[in-house]
Structure 1
Amino acid sequence: MLNFTWTVFSQTGNVDTYLLFKELEKEKTEVPERLDNKLAEIDYPI
């Protein structure tokens, strides 16, 4: 999905498409952190 969004942005220069790309990129890096936190809670409940 990132590649498609970047391709569309690079061809059109549409700012909204760039913002969507950055949002998707941010979510991609946040998901493992949330998963790690969730697994840690399972292992060590408060």
Structure 2
Amino acid sequence: MLDFTWKVFSQTGDIDTYLLFKELEKERQETPVSLEDELTEVDFPIS
């Protein structure tokens, strides 16, 4: 999805598409990196 939004932005120059790209990029950095991290979060949720 990140690659697609960047491609659309680079072809159109649409600022809304760029802002969506940056939002997706930020969310990607905040999510667990590995499946093991995700499973740990499911087993031991942070309350």
- Do they fold alike, i.e. is TM over 0.5? yes
Q: What's the TM-score once normalised by structure 2's chain length?
A: 0.69
Q: What is the rounded CA distance, in whole Å, between the counterparts of 1:10 and 1:3 in structure 2?
A: 10
Matches within 5 A, 1:1-46: 1-32=1-32, 39=41, 42=44
- Alpha-carbon RMSD across the aligned residues, in angstroms, is 3.0
Q: Which runs of 5+ in 1 are unaligned?
A: none
User: Which segments of 5 or more consecutive residues in structure 2 lack a partner in the other structure?
Assistant: none
State which structure, 1 or 2, has the greater radius of gyration over its C-alpha atoms: 1
Count residues with an aligned counterpart: 42
User: Sequence identity of aligned pairs in percent?
Assistant: 62
Query: Stretches of 4+ moved more than 4 A in 1?
Result: none
